[in-house]
Each structure stands twice: as structure tokens, then as C-alpha cells.
Amino acid sequence: MWIYLNNRFVSRDEARVSIFDHGFLYGDGVYETLRAYGGRLFMLRQHLERLERSARLIGLALPLTISDWPPLLEEALRRNGLSDAYLRLTISRGEGSIGLDPSLCPTPTLVVIAQPLPNYPPHLYDEGVRLIISQTRRNLAEALPPHIKSLNFLNNILAKREATLAKVFDAVMLNATGHLAECTTSNLFFVRHGRLCTPAVGCGILDGITRNVVLQLARARYIETEEGTYPPADVFAADECFLTNTTMEIMPVRSLNDRPIGSGKPGPLTQTLQSAFRSKLPDFLQKAPGLLD
Ligand code: PDD
């Protein structure tokens, strides 16, 4: 496995980061997860723009510009012999002495990992996943804005622990006012009376790139969409529910807190959007070097 670390590709064993790196000490940094399909990257520009935005919002100067990334990502895939892959771009504040002041870290640490995709068992897509509502609330936007994709993931990890202890796939996190926010690494959708609903970005979520694609696909098919503020009761009363993220695409949900949602099986609108996603996928893929064409 070849890892890009700061300015060169190194073997996995050589890929070492300092114990004084503020990413390690404080979770100070940002990241993106991308997916490659046949060597092409899903929504590459949008991921790179979100990375830039996250970095800007924490006052971190990225060591690469948007146009530097595509050839680097292509090289990471090539060196690892991958065409369908998971790519993780991590930029931490860098090495510095102990203390919170970012100016202690003159140079950010940059890591690119390209590895095979995580395997979601096909039966999850056929049957849908089980969720709980976590006790852990999503970070308050005024404290740590969830639209910053930061390395500081403890909020989500605490919710994920609850899901793991409850032996379910994942947990729905509510925001501070008790409204639906998102799952630990995905966005939440539900369908009620034919209308596709998803918590608005203002509810304190990551504005998922797959979420936007799904909204776009739905609107193109004249499916009514709504981004709003919803109590958890709306999911219990929903006809269908699913999750979206870059690695899972569209994952049906069959129950919440052990209460079946709709028929408890992937519903018709979920299936329509899954097949729309698959058939329109080529439109959302960008060949790395052609990104800025
Ligand atoms: N997670 N919400 C959260 C909290 C996330 O971490 C993610 C992505 C999403 C979905 O975003 P997108 O559709 O852009 O992937 C929503 C990625 C997959 C991760 O953490 O690896």
C-alpha cells in the first residue's frame, strides 16, 4: 500500500506522523472521503471545494490548490492498483509543541490513503438497516459547526458507540432542539405521502454531496422534495427512509428504535432513486486530470 505523505509516496510502514501533530493531539484538521468508480471520482470538484471550505473555516491554509489534487489522486489510485476505491484526504494542522495556538504548527500534515472500498453486505441493501435514535446530540452549530468536516469526530463516535452497543447499524442524531439532524457518517431522508424529506442544512448537519445528488435526481423526476425541520415522530410515521453517503450511496432503513418504518422493506421511491443513481452515475464522475477542463 502506497500512502502520499506531505510531498511524496511512501510505503504504509514508512507513513508515520509525529506524536506532536495537532491532528493527533487535538483532532485539529479537516478531511474528505471520496469514492472512485472505474478510476473516475464521484463529484470530485464538490469534494475538493468542501475540503477548501472546511479548511478555511478553521483557518488552515491548505498546502495544495484545487488543481493540484486531481493528478495526485490519480497517482494514488495507480500506485495502489485500484480503480474502484475509497480515498481519504486528511490535512491536519501539523506538528507543533503542545498548546492550542495554531501558530505553533508552521506546516500542515497532508495524507492521502487509497484503499479498497468497504464492503457493505448486499443483504443490507435488500432488507434495509436498523437504526436507533442516539442520546448523543449532534454538535451545536454555534459550538462546532457540523458543516465543517473536521478531524474532531468524537461527537459522532459517541453516537456510533450507542449504535454498536444496541447492535444496530447506526444512530440518528438529533440536534440541540430535539429535531432530526443526521446519522454518524450519513444524511437522513424519509418519504411521507410521496414527498421526499430531509433535514435542512440549518438543522446542523454536514451538507452531504450524495444528499445533493439525490435531491437533484428526485427533482428531475418530479418527486416533491422538502428540506425542513422535523421531529423524530416524522420518521416513525414515514412510509420509507434511507441514508446517503459517498461510500454507501443510498442505503434503505427498515426500522428505528425497533419500530418498522413503512412496510419495513425498501420502498418504491427508495428503489426509484437507487436505480436513478446507478443509471445517472456516469454524469457525476470526473476523470481526475480532466477536472478543470
Ligand atoms: N461521511 N454526515 C456526516 C456526519 C458525514 O460524515 C458524511 C460523510 C455525510 C455524507 O456526506 P457525503 O454524501 O458527502 O459523503 C453526512 C464520510 C463518508 C466519512 O466520514 O467517511
pLDDT tens-digit series, residues 53-104: 999 999 999 999 999 999 999 999 999 999 999 999 999 999 999 999 999 9
Predicted confidence (pLDDT) per residue in 252-287, tens digit:
999 999 999 999 889 999 999 999 999 999 999 976
In this prediction, residue 119 carries a pLDDT of: 87
Is residue 289 over pLDDT 90? no
Predicted confidence (pLDDT) per residue in 100-159, tens digit:
999 999 999 999 999 999 889 999 999 999 999 999 999 999 999 999 999 999 999 999
User: Ligand 1 centroid to 162 CA: how many Å?
Assistant: 18
- pLDDT, average across residues 224-249: 98
Q: Which amino acid is at 59?
A: G
Question: For residues 178-214, b (16+ Cβ closer than 10 Å) or e, as one string?
Answer: ebbbbbbbbbbbbbbeeebbbbbbebbbbebbbbebb
Which residue's CA is the closest to the ligand 1 atom numbered 6?
A: 185
Which residue's CA is the closest to the ligand 1 atom numbered 16?
A: 186
Which residue's CA is the closest to the ligand 1 atom numbered 4?
A: 185
User: Ligand 1 centroid to 97 CA: how many Å?
Assistant: 31
User: Ligand 1 centroid to 147 CA: how many Å?
Assistant: 10
Residue appearing with cell numbers 420502498: 267
Is residue 223 over pLDDT 80? yes
Q: Is 17 left (phi over 0), alpha (psi -120 to 50) or beta?
A: beta
Mean pLDDT over each residue of the chain, to the nearest integer: 96
User: Ligand 1 centroid to 282 CA: how many Å?
Assistant: 21
Closest to 166 measured CA to CA, from 206, 129, 193, 121: 129
Rounded Cα distance, 284 and 192, in Å:
27
Which residue's CA is the closest to the ligand 1 atom numbered 11?
A: 208
In this prediction, residue 267 carries a pLDDT of: 96
In this prediction, residue 288 carries a pLDDT of: 54
**Residue 292 banded pLDDT, cuts 50, 70, 90:** very low
In this prediction, residue 293 carries a pLDDT of: 43
Residue appearing with cell numbers 425498501: 266
The 3-state secondary structure of 210-239, one letter per residue: HHHHHHHHHHHCCCCEEEECCCCHHHHCCC
Closest to 193 measured CA to CA, from 223, 215, 227: 223
In this prediction, residue 287 carries a pLDDT of: 62
- Catalytically active residues are 149
Rounded Cα distance, 26 and 97, in Å:
12
Report the CATH number of the 2-116 domain.
3.30.470.10
List CB contacts of 152: < 8 A, sequence separation 6 or more. Answer: 26, 27, 28, 144
Q: What ligand 1 atom has the least distance to the C-alpha of 209?
A: 14
In this prediction, residue 193 carries a pLDDT of: 95
- In this prediction the pTM is 0.96
In this prediction, residue 228 carries a pLDDT of: 98
User: Ligand 1 centroid to 204 CA: how many Å?
Assistant: 13
CB neighbours of residue 51 within 10 Å: 22
Rounded Cα distance, 205 and 186, in Å:
9
Q: What ligand 1 atom has the least distance to the C-alpha of 206?
A: 2
Rounded Cα distance, 172 and 181, in Å:
7
CB neighbours of residue 222 within 10 Å: 6
- Which residues form ligand 1's pocket by a CB distance below 6 Å? 33, 156, 182, 185-187, 206, 208-211, 244-247
Domain 122-281 has CATH 3.30.310.40: no
Q: What ligand 1 atom has the least distance to the C-alpha of 187?
A: 16
Residue 241 cell numbers, joined: 427512509
In this prediction, residue 286 carries a pLDDT of: 77
In this prediction, residue 14 carries a pLDDT of: 97
Any idea where the domains of the chain sit in the sequence?
2-116, 122-281
Q: What ligand 1 atom has the least distance to the C-alpha of 156?
A: 4
In this prediction, residue 180 carries a pLDDT of: 98
Is residue 290 over pLDDT 60? no
Yes or no: say if 131 and 256 are a contact pair by the CB < 8 Å rule: yes
In this prediction, residue 264 carries a pLDDT of: 83
Predicted confidence (pLDDT) per residue in 101-114, tens digit:
999 999 999 999 99
Predicted confidence (pLDDT) per residue in 168-177, tens digit:
999 999 999 9
- pLDDT, average across residues 37-65: 97
